[in-house]
Amino acid sequence: MPTDPRQVRSTAPAGRTPVEVAAVGETMVVLCPAPGEPLEDADRVAVSVGGAESNVAGYLARLGHQVTWVSRVGDDPFGRAVVRHVAAAGVQVDQVVVDPTAPTGLYLKDPGPEGTAVHYYRAGSAASRMDPGTLADPGLAGARVLHLSGITPALSASCRALVEHAVTARPLTGALVSFDVNHRARLWSAEQAAPVLRDLADRCDLVFVGQDEAQTLWGTTDPAAVRRLLPTPETVVVKDGAVGATTLRRDAEPVFVPAPRVTVVELVGAGDAFAAGYLAGLLRDLDPVRRLRLGHLMAAQALTSSGDNAPVPPWAWFEDLLAAPVEAWSPLDLTATPV
């Protein structure tokens, strides 16, 4: 297990801003027609940018942390748009490789009466060419947290090797390894993903998993059963959507914090926002309850906003709610409160 991330001092080369968090993964351009309009009938689409790991990075940066996004993009207009978008959130992007021979990934949203379908065009993308050497840059030295997700090992054999290298060889010395299970059924089936994601998660220090994912992958929604399936990590966080989330640490009793009520605008990105909030709480040395609260409050930002990246309130807004007594938090309803 690594040193506590708060005890790790940056050894970044002179001239570079030391990073607290390195987030690794693919970010794509998103094309979406007007709300409710099927893609096949659309004559115009909106262009945006989305990626789980860069979402986490962006939220952490807006919370005041030094974060770098590690990835590859194509040498094309979409790649330049992705890098510009991530950098605009305050994330360092000097670890992004521009690939002249592979395209930037793309996905399309297709609204329909039964929900929004997603169509990926990411096979052979620049990001799918990431490999274990991706983490060799000396600029990553001293990062306190390395954040990964279960999306990356589904992209290619070399990407899977990258994640295996990250969680086994621990190339970022002393960094806490954070892993969001993030199963994507469009990339690989539950049968394919279940053993791989369990093995990778069990080699990390901090794991985020939704109860719905745990049910799909491992046949259980019980946080204690998930903890038994993942005995090695120091901390496992099991999320139950609008109900709440449970932290299960190896050396302590489980801690459950209910989620505040919100008016949901869009579900996309809420898990990324939650992970960012929890990681920010860890970096700020908050106690387990406040880490979960900060995760919930960040998820509320995503749930009440359209798009993958929501605005973040001033820190004072969070402080008041993080310090609220239990009797004030439990019935917390943000539907009538500006978020």
Catalytic residues: 272
Alpha helices in 139-287 (DSSP H): 157-168, 190-201, 211-218, 223-229, 270-283
Measured CA to CA, the distance from residue 94 to residue 68 in angstroms comes to 8
Measured CA to CA, the distance from residue 51 to residue 87 in angstroms comes to 13
Beta strand 28-32 pairing with 46-50: antiparallel
DSSP state, residue 105: P
Measured CA to CA, the distance from residue 203 to residue 28 in angstroms comes to 27
Beta strand 21-24 pairing with 96-99: unpaired
- As beta bridge partners, residue 49 has 29
* Rg from Cα positions in the chain: 19
The token duo for 146 is 């390395």
